[in-house]
Structure 1
Amino acid sequence: MRASGESYGVIGALQAFPLRLATRRVQALGGRLHRNITRGTTAAVLGRKLLASKTQANIEQAVSNAREKAVPLLSENGFLRLLRSLSPVPTANITRQSMLDQSRLDGDTLDLLALFDAFEHHAEPFSFRDVILAKKYAGLVASGASWSAIARSVHQIGPVGSLTALTLQADGPARIVTKDAHSLAELDGQRLLPLPEVDEDAEDYFGAAEAAEAAQLFAEAATLYQHCATMDPTDAVAAFNFGNCLRALGHLPEAATAYITAIKRDPEFVEAWFNHGGVLRDMGRIQAAREHLGRAVAIDPSYADAIYNLAALEYDAHDLGAARQWWLRYLELDGTSDWARRARAGVGLANRMLNKAG
């Protein structure tokens, strides 16, 4: 959808700025903006101030009326993104049906939460971070919270994405509370009594990151892993996986930094040494790559992949003698795979070339 030639009807009021400013912006882009739905309305925008000014039943009726008129619905954030007044969200590819299947939210509830920007993406396709939020909201609904209470609450502490790092609990149908390190607070900041510690958010985050990585959604997975690594400064695996996703995206210097973080957190993390060596090789830093791969082998002398890569590194550097030694060492660990066949061919080539040179 584009602004030019469109006619937008705002239901309620925008939280972001007064209607007059929105009208000027739409007009500058060649469109029209008005209150509520008219016959010429091509899309309806649900202003978030509805949550404070109308009951849940009133809001649901307004949404139903718009749908009966076959008018497409936009959330406030969706409208602001269309006007380029809000940064675009990262690319995602999770369908509405997948969100429903994974979260067990009711379809109407998910749609209403999306229309009031309770997710980072205002509409399908959604992201894995949105799936995390949907699961949290499903838990709140199961505990008795209404969708409107969730929608009202989630915007009280900043970007909704930050909620993925919090434990949310329902305190009746109209009140949502969140746990920090010491106590509970309403999402508007009012202090409540402490409850027993529950440390499950990092695991939820990590599980979603793994799922995103497995689906080759590397940008999404990188974001999630980065949050995991930030939440727990001792987590070397999250930093390592963050590096893997950055490497898959072609961000080699950033991947190298992530691997360094993993190594600092766990100096014996052999895969981090190995992958860092691979990134350094790809960046043309051959001596540093050699040192990192060598360190991986020193930590784990049976690490066949590191040994093979060292052989390949020396071959590329035209040191056939060193390459031959590494290939022979590789064959001590693996004598049957395709890589072993290549190692034997490498040894044979090195033997011929070295004999010819001698």
Structure 2
Amino acid sequence: MAVAGQTFGIVGALSAFPRRLVAREVERQHGHVRRGVTRQTTYLVFGRSLLAKSSEAEIEARFDAEHSSGRWLISENGFLRLLGLMSVPAASALSRQSLIDQARLSPRIFDLLSLFDAFEHGSEPYSFRDLILARKYAELIASGASWSAIARSVHRSGPVASLTALSLHHGGTDAIYARSAEGLSELNGQLLFDLDTPDDAALEDLFDLAEEAEANGDYLEAAAFYQRYLAMDRTDSVAAFNRANCLKAAGRELDAAHDYARAIKLDPSFVEAWFNLAGLMNERGRIDAARRHLGKAIEIDGDYADAVFNLAKLEFDAGDLAEAKRWWTRYLELDSDSEWARTAERGVQYVDLQSRPRTG
């Protein structure tokens, strides 16, 4: 699929290639890279660093949530192949289902391992080496190994295809070992494409600290971390957006408005930034600005129900009942079952009632 027009989110640091170089290539191909997930994210890349920073349960929960949202989930190597930065190895004609059936590997485990590049190929058709790897992984799972322990271990010995010549063993720990005549040895070789720089690592650590502080409600501390991050990477619209949210939560509305505007300047299609800035403007009594920003959010994403509802309410409060009805009617096309939909229905009924000619 072409990169142009697609928005790529990345969760976790990339191990196979520096993030800044990948982002540059995506932009060159007229796509967009955004940290984490926004409404416009079409592809979500799972960085291998998640294996070190998140538990297996946390990764599975993220996998399930993002998969159910309809986004394309891809691995680091899958991302690089999509960009043309990594060649696709020669393949045989094995289908995904055939590989799973022959290896007797759970489809869910297969998908999770694939997401962290535990196979030579990231998609159909698969090779005979992929089948060998799948069988080895199935044996490890049967011996009590977790899929995450396998995923953490397989990249320690170079290309995963090299594991086909090894006898893999799970010893009751989180590590996978190779058995040879000399006994067990760890798969502790250097990562094949470990090109990360200290600056990349520092950026990832800063963003993690900011997110943690934000999640704990330490909004000013989080804003300070995001600001340090933005001093190192001035191009990250999500960091600016997150900082704006923290500043707003801390009561610093003017500073928040500045950072929402910064996020929009960095990414004019950042619909959530337009929406949140509209809410801030509305709270400060700047109705015309709020109306413009909500209109922009809807122009970018015509199915953004929250923006449609808020614009209807804004018009109602401003006394423009016809516009309020128009937007509430549109909202009901997007949502007909929630409590917000009941409110929209009552709004439409009220406008209709007010529009009836009065009789003496």
Structure 1 length as normaliser, TM-score?
0.51
The answer to whether the aligner puts 1:142 opposite 2:142 as a matched pair is yes
Between 1:8-17 and 1:137-146, the stretch displaced more is: 8-17
Give the structure 2 partner of residue 227 of structure 1.
none
C-alpha separation between the residues in 2 aligned to 1:106 and 1:10? 26
User: Secondary structure of 2:57's match?
Assistant: helix
Give the structure 2 partner of residue 160 of structure 1.
160
The answer to whether the aligner puts 1:78 opposite 2:89 as a matched pair is no
Contact 2:118-2:154 within 8 A present in 1 as well? yes
Give the structure 2 partner of residue 98 of structure 1.
98
User: Secondary structure of 2:94's match?
Assistant: coil
C-alpha separation between the residues in 2 aligned to 1:151 and 1:58? 15
The answer to whether the aligner puts 1:9 opposite 2:9 as a matched pair is yes
Q: Which amino acid aligns with 1:89?
A: P
Give the structure 1 partner of residue 26 of structure 2.
26
Give the structure 1 partner of residue 326 of structure 2.
none
Between 1:140-149 and 1:121-130, the stretch displaced more is: 121-130
Q: CA deviation at 1:180?
A: 3.1
Cα deviation per residue 1:173-195 (whole Å; 9 max; x = unaligned)? Answer: 51211023422101116xxxxxx
Contact 2:11-2:45 within 8 A present in 1 as well? yes
Count of aligned positions: 189
User: Secondary structure of 1:156's match?
Assistant: helix
Q: CA deviation at 1:14?
A: 0.8
Q: CA deviation at 1:92?
A: 2.9
**CA shift in 2, pair 1:121/1:33, >3 Å:** same
C-alpha separation between the residues in 1 aligned to 2:78 and 2:58? 22
Of structures 1 and 2, the one scoring higher in RCO (CA 8 A, sep 6+) is 2
Cα deviation per residue 1:30-79 (whole Å; 9 max; x = unaligned)? Answer: 11011112111111111111111111111111111111210011111010
Contact 1:156-1:188 within 8 A present in 2 as well? yes
C-alpha separation between the residues in 1 aligned to 2:33 and 2:162? 32
The answer to whether the aligner puts 1:187 opposite 2:176 as a matched pair is no
User: Secondary structure of 1:178's match?
Assistant: strand
C-alpha separation between the residues in 2 aligned to 1:66 and 1:4? 22
Cα deviation per residue 1:265-311 (whole Å; 9 max; x = unaligned)? Answer: xxxxxxxxxxxxxxxxxxxxxxxxxxxxxxxxxxxxxxxxxxxxxxx
User: Secondary structure of 1:39's match?
Assistant: coil
Contact 1:25-1:83 within 8 A present in 2 as well? yes
Q: Which amino acid aligns with 1:40?
A: Q
Aligned-residue RMSD, C-alpha? 1.3
Give the structure 2 partner of residue 38 of structure 1.
38
Q: CA deviation at 1:117?
A: 0.4
User: Secondary structure of 2:27's match?
Assistant: helix
**CA shift in 2, pair 1:123/1:173, >3 Å:** farther
Give the structure 1 partner of residue 118 of structure 2.
118
User: Secondary structure of 1:154's match?
Assistant: helix
Q: CA deviation at 1:84?
A: 1.5
1:267-282 map, 5 Å: none
C-alpha separation between the residues in 2 aligned to 1:131 and 1:178? 18
1:169-180 map, 5 Å: 169-180=169-180
Q: CA deviation at 1:19?
A: 2.1
C-alpha separation between the residues in 1 aligned to 2:110 and 2:40? 28
C-alpha separation between the residues in 1 aligned to 2:102 and 2:57? 27
Cα deviation per residue 1:79-120 (whole Å; 9 max; x = unaligned)? Answer: 011112112221332111111110111110011011110000
Contact 1:144-1:173 within 8 A present in 2 as well? no
User: Secondary structure of 1:63's match?
Assistant: helix
1:48-67 map, 5 Å: 48-67=48-67
User: Secondary structure of 2:122's match?
Assistant: coil
Q: CA deviation at 1:2?
A: 2.1
Contact 1:56-1:148 within 8 A present in 2 as well? yes
Contact 2:177-2:186 within 8 A present in 1 as well? yes
**CA shift in 2, pair 1:173/1:2, >3 Å:** farther
Contact 1:37-1:66 within 8 A present in 2 as well? no
Q: Which amino acid aligns with 2:144?
A: G
Q: Which amino acid aligns with 2:75?
A: S
User: Secondary structure of 1:30's match?
Assistant: coil
Gaps of 5+ in 2: 190-360
Q: Which amino acid aligns with 2:95?
A: T
User: Secondary structure of 2:62's match?
Assistant: helix
C-alpha separation between the residues in 1 aligned to 2:83 and 2:186? 33
Give the structure 2 partner of residue 315 of structure 1.
none
User: Secondary structure of 2:30's match?
Assistant: coil
User: Secondary structure of 1:155's match?
Assistant: helix
Structure 1 or 2, whichever has the larger Rg, is 1
C-alpha separation between the residues in 2 aligned to 1:71 and 1:44? 7
Cα deviation per residue 1:215-261 (whole Å; 9 max; x = unaligned)? Answer: xxxxxxxxxxxxxxxxxxxxxxxxxxxxxxxxxxxxxxxxxxxxxxx
Contact 1:144-1:170 within 8 A present in 2 as well? yes
Between 1:159-168 and 1:49-58, the stretch displaced more is: 49-58
